Amino acid sequence: MRKLILSVVLVLSAALLYGAEASAFSNSGSCGGDCRTCHSFKTRDAQDLLGSLNPQVKVLGVDKSPVGGLWQVTYEFRGQKGITYIDFEKKHIIEGKIIDIKSRADITDQKLSEMNRVDFSKIPVKDALIMGKADAPIKAIVFDDPE
């Protein structure tokens, strides 16, 4: 009987602890739904943290992730842009994708696509050789070295 009571106490304790952890970043917490009012993580903080792991990493920005309790950190490493996630306690780095279950949208991939999108209006074409109609709805830009 004593073992049964001890088992029940352990299970209840684990449930209480798990429940407290699960609700730590819920919208009903003291943050009022916007965790940035209680937690902060600036680009410089992220640079210091990730730079201590690899000095070649350049942090581009920090924002609240779509998942509570995580920061979304955009970075560049060896010319490639990427996204990683860091918990609010700044103890864990999470690599991977965030996928919205309902819409099946890959949130991480959408953000990466935004980051890597080229604004063609910023490419200088003053001295470009134009082939075809200049006002065509679809344009292709080809870079070539004539030498």
For the stretch 36-61, pLDDT in tens is: 567 788 999 999 999 999 999 999 99
- Confidence at residue 33, expressed as pLDDT on a 0 to 100 scale: 60
Using CA atoms, how far residue 8 sits from 5, 13, 14, 101, 136, in Å, is 5, 8, 10, 34, 73
* pLDDT less than 70: residues of the chain: 1-37
- Confidence at residue 20, expressed as pLDDT on a 0 to 100 scale: 37
Report d(CA 17, CA 6) in Å as an integer: 16
pTM over 0.75: no
Domains of the chain and CATH, by start: 37-116 (3.10.450.70)
- Confidence at residue 122, expressed as pLDDT on a 0 to 100 scale: 84
